Chains A and B, each alone.
Chain A
Amino acid sequence: DGGITQSPKYLFRKEGQNVTLSCEQNLNHDAMYWYRQDPGQGLRLIYYSQIVNDFQKGDIAEGYSVSREKKESFPLTVTSAQKNPTAFYLCASTNQDYTEAFFGQGTRLTVV
């Protein structure tokens, strides 16, 4: 079945550590996105990529980095510079005409 897979589902990080969240899709979509969601809040865009080897900052990119070396993969690194990384992270991709967004099941990151 086609879809988006995020891993891990739960992730614990010590302060000062970088962690990388995985996002893989087999939908052949060009555009991929990372969102952050805090409890009781909406989705905020971190980074998005419209094509391989290209990506743009979203509204809250500080403290995060991404890469897009393959069409299928869009990993997100939460760096130690991100002061409050505990949140629910969602990866999404859109079809060519941007008529629907498909989401992974999300990764819950907790700083301990």
Chain B
Amino acid sequence: RKEVEQDPGPFNVPEGATVAFNCTYSNSASQSFFWYRQDCRKEPKLLMSVYSSGNEDGRFTAQLNRASQYISLLIRDSKLSDSATYLCVVNTGFQKLVFGTGTRLLVSP
């Protein structure tokens, strides 16, 4: 089983839609969790950290479910500019960050 797994997509949604991605992780001792955004042919950039209590940043909401070992990212009111690949990142507790393969989002007019 992979340490971090994501649905590669693509998720095709119209502007204004709400879309959610999940990411599962295998190591129950994992300590911290993040969502990164990667635009085509660019380096990944931190979108948001995921806290145990859940957190929100504008249209983006991230949640952690430790019991089921997954994190989620919800995007409301999708914009064309949200089109990108969203990478789930987990600090597995072995002092390394493990990246998921990413979920591709395409927002259309």
Contact = CB atoms under 8 A, between A and B. Distances in A.
Interface residues of B, number: 24
Interface SS of chain B? strand
B31 A90 contact: no
B87 interface: yes
B97 A33 contact: yes
B46 A100 contact: yes
Interface string A91-109: 0101000111101111000
A interface, by DSSP: helix, strand, loop or mixed?
Answer: strand
A35 B100 CA distance: 12
Interface of A: 31, 33, 35, 41-43, 45, 48, 50, 56, 58, 88, 90, 92, 94, 98-101, 103-106
Interface of B: 6, 8, 31-32, 34, 36, 41-46, 49, 87, 89, 91, 95-102
